[in-house]
Structure 1
């Protein structure tokens, strides 16, 4: 039997994932300073671009979950 969907802490989980992604962006930016490889620089920049997209997705999901929380998790 499947467990019921428990959305009570989704906002907090999403906020934690967003902060970790922001931290990863900062760490990657710092790493750019120490690499001379154009291949690595391009890879880091591409990955950070994907991370930025993820952050926007987290923001949307957080908003959706906050709305769901306000509306009593109704679907």
Structure 2
């Protein structure tokens, strides 16, 4: 039996759209977390704030990647 294990071609044609959708979802999650923070305090609040900081960093990285993708087209 012969196996033909070839990698799939690198198709990035919809990469920008996927990144934009990921940004929107991340912003939605941040907004939900901000609403949750109104009802919590202490350690849980600090954890949510830290997670939202990481989300902001991720959004910046995704926006940068979108710029790179658009520049390479």
Pairwise same-fold verdict (TM > 0.5): yes
Gaps of 5+ in 2: 1-5
TM superposition score normalised by structure 1: 0.87
| Large movers: runs of 4+ above 6 Å | none
List gaps (5 residues or longer) in structure 1: 71-75
- TM-score after normalising by structure 2: 0.89
- The higher radius of gyration belongs to 2
Q: How does 1:1-75 map onto structure 2 within 5 Å?
A: 1-35=6-40, 37-68=41-72, 70=73
Superposed CA RMSD in Å reads 0.7
Aligned pair count reads 68
| Structure 1 position 66, deviation (Å) | 1.1
